[in-house]
Amino acid sequence: MVRVVAKILVTAFGLWIADVLLDGVRVDSITTLWLSAFVLGLINALVRPLVVLLTLPITFLTFGIFLFVINGAMLLLVARVIPSFHVDSLGAAIAAWLIVTVVNWMVPAWKKEATSGLRQP
């Protein structure tokens, strides 16, 4: 349960950074930020695998680049479900997805680095 909450927290942080850096992404409130992170997790767990499976041929033809479009589309789907989370275009959604991915990738690395000095050899 703690891992799920931590993942939602990190995703919400990534969405907030996307909101700050990108003109095409807007989050109206902190509640919307948390809800968007939660719904994004649900969509990535339930909808995305089916979409990836159905688009496997085009993903192979594009050497995996089409996954960028799929991930951006998942973020657009979140924007459609949550009325106070706004994404203007697929390009903005892909850019926001890249930011969220980088944040989700960096935070565990910082955590690992920060706790590595605390352990005894």
Q: What is the 3-state secondary structure (H, E, C) of 59-101?
A: HHHCCCCHHHHHHHHHHHHHHHHCCCEEECCHHHHHHHHHHHH
Domain boundaries, the chain: 13-103
Q: Does residue 116 carry a pLDDT above 70?
A: no
Q: Does residue 73 carry a pLDDT above 90?
A: yes
Q: Give me the mean pLDDT over the 45-50 stretch.
A: 96
pLDDT band for 2, please (50, 70, 90 cuts): confident
Q: Which amino acid is at 116?
A: S
Assign 23 to helix, strand or coil: coil
Tell me the whole-structure pTM to 2 decimals: 0.85
pLDDT of residue 26: 96
> Counting every residue, how long is the chain?
121
